[in-house]
Amino acid sequence: MLGFTYYTPTKVAFGKGSVEKVGELMKQFGGTRVLIHYGGQSAVRSGVLDRVKKSLDEAGIFHVELGGVVPNPHLAKVREGIELSKANGVDFLLAVGGGSVIDSCKAIAYGLAEPEHDVWELYAGQRKAKACFPVASVLTIAAAGSEMSNSCVITNTDTEEKRAYDDDLARPKFAIMDPELTMTLPDYQTEAGCADIMMHTMERYFVNSGTMELTDALAEGLLRTVMHNAEVLHTDPRNYDARAEVMWASSLAHNGLTGCGSDGGDWMPHLLEHEMGGMFNVTHGAGLAAVWPSWARYVYKDCLPRFVKYAVNVMGVTPGATDEETALAGIAAMEEFYHRIGMPVNFKELGIDPTDEQMAEMAASCARACGGAKGSAKVLHQSDMEAIYKMLK
Ligand code: NZQ
Ligand code: ZN
| Per-residue pLDDT reduced to its tens digit, 40-94 | 999 999 999 999 999 999 999 999 999 999 999 999 999 999 999 999 999 999 9
The alpha carbon of 123 is separated from its chain's Cα centroid by a whole number of angstroms, namely 16
Query: How far does the centroid of ligand 2 lie from the alpha carbon of residue 80, in Å?
Result: 25
Question: How large is the greatest C-alpha to C-alpha distance in the chain, in angstroms?
Answer: 67
Count of residues making up the chain = 393
Q: Say what the pLDDT of residue 63 is.
A: 98
Q: Is 5 exposed, middle or buried (0-12, 13-18, 19+ CB in 10 A)?
A: exposed
Average confidence (pLDDT) over 328-351: 98
Q: For the chain, what is the mean pLDDT?
A: 97
CB 43 less than 6 A from any atom of ligand 1: yes
Q: Cβ(290)–Cβ(345) under 8 Å?
A: yes
Separation of alpha carbons 136 and 106, rounded Å? 9
Q: What are phi and psi of 74, to 5 degrees?
A: -95, 145
Q: Say what the pLDDT of residue 70 is.
A: 98
Query: How far does the centroid of ligand 1 lie from the alpha carbon of residue 194, in Å?
Result: 12
CB 170 less than 6 A from any atom of ligand 1: no
Q: Say what the pLDDT of residue 339 is.
A: 98
Smallest CA separation from ligand 1 atom 7, residue: 71
Whether the predicted pLDDT of 277 surpasses 90: yes
Q: Say what the pLDDT of residue 19 is.
A: 98
Whether the predicted pLDDT of 145 surpasses 90: yes
- Residue 373 identity (one-letter amino acid): A
CB 342 less than 6 A from any atom of ligand 1: no
- Residue 346 identity (one-letter amino acid): N
Whether the predicted pLDDT of 112 surpasses 90: yes
Average confidence (pLDDT) over 140-157: 98
- For ligand 1, mutation pick of 37, 103, 123, 238 (most atoms within 8 Å of CB): 103
Q: Say what the pLDDT of residue 245 is.
A: 98
CB 172 less than 6 A from any atom of ligand 1: no
Among the atoms of ligand 1, which is closest to the Cα of residue 152? Answer: 44
Average confidence (pLDDT) over 110-131: 98
190-229 pLDDT, tens digit per residue, is 999 999 999 999 999 999 998 999 999 999 999 999 999 9
Secondary structure of 228-293 as H, E, C letters: HHHHHHHHCCCCHHHHHHHHHHHHHCCCCHHHCCCCCCCCHHHHHHHHHHHHHCCCHHHHHHHHHH
Q: Which of 332, 109, 157, 52 is nearest to 119 (CA)?
A: 109
Q: Say what the pLDDT of residue 210 is.
A: 87
Mind listing the domains of the chain with CATH numbers? 11-181 (3.40.50.1970), 187-391 (1.20.1090.10)
- The pocket of ion ligand 2, defined by CB under 5 A, consists of 196
